[in-house]
Amino acid sequence: MKITLIPVLTIALILLGACGAPAKKDYSKEVDEGTFDGNQYTSQALGWTMEFPDNWIITKKSSLESLDERTKEIVEDTSSNMAGIKRTLAFQKNYDNNFQSTWEEFSGDQTSYKRIISDIHKTIYNNYLDQRTPLDSVAGQLKVSGITFDTYQISLFDKNAKNFANQLLMTALVKNKFMTVTIAYNNDADKKKILDLFKGSSFK
């Protein structure tokens, strides 16, 4: 399995701001799998349907691909291969508050899954330590439409101990696929808006 590359948040805040103004268009080219119907997205592979705010922006796939490359440079990652990762719904209010999701095929068992997410959490934590960024982290779980997601929240602080950015990672095994959801936010109102939409999504 190719482990999903989790964006380094400080880079994500830069690159996701370059996606252009919202417009009514065909969003199908911005995902690798799934369909759009108004402000609703459905992944047939995951059996997952989620709504997104109609006045927010669907993030361009090219922007996310650039983000992955920049993240690999920052963390000096020369081994990650993104070929097996399918980009699904990604949207943003602005460069500080956004939602991303992906999946990839997974043939392991629960033990290997737990080992992988433990390694991912350690990698994320160490990446921020390497940047000398003060942080707090909390692991937990969240159930969405019968699917239990493992969660990992990172809060970043400046030198004056002021919280300036947050990242919530959620992972789960869905239909033999490793699903990853990442929410970046800098205020509780936008976190609630994004998280409520995800919690209200359905898996069939």
Mean per-residue pLDDT over the chain, rounded:
86
The average pLDDT across 15-22 equals 44
In order of their start, the domains of the chain are 9-20+27-203 (3.40.1000.10)
**Predicted local confidence at residue 74, as pLDDT:** 52
**Predicted local confidence at residue 65, as pLDDT:** 74
Q: Is the pLDDT of residue 2 over 50?
A: no
Burial class (CB in 10 A: 0-12, 13-18, 19+), 99: buried
**Predicted local confidence at residue 189, as pLDDT:** 98
Tokens (6 digits) for 56: 């927010």
Looking at 81-85, 156-160, 190-194, which range is the least confident one? 81-85
Q: How many Å from the N-terminal Cα to the C-terminal Cα in the chain? A: 24
The average pLDDT across 139-144 equals 98
Q: Is the pLDDT of residue 8 over 70?
A: no
Q: Is the pLDDT of residue 83 over 50?
A: yes
Q: Is the pLDDT of residue 1 over 60?
A: no
pLDDT band at 73 (very low <50, low <70, confident <90, very high): low
**Predicted local confidence at residue 24, as pLDDT:** 54
**Predicted local confidence at residue 95, as pLDDT:** 85
pLDDT > 90: what percent of the chain?
A: 69
User: Mind listing the pLDDT tens digit for each residue in 32-61?
Assistant: 999 999 999 999 999 999 999 989 999 998
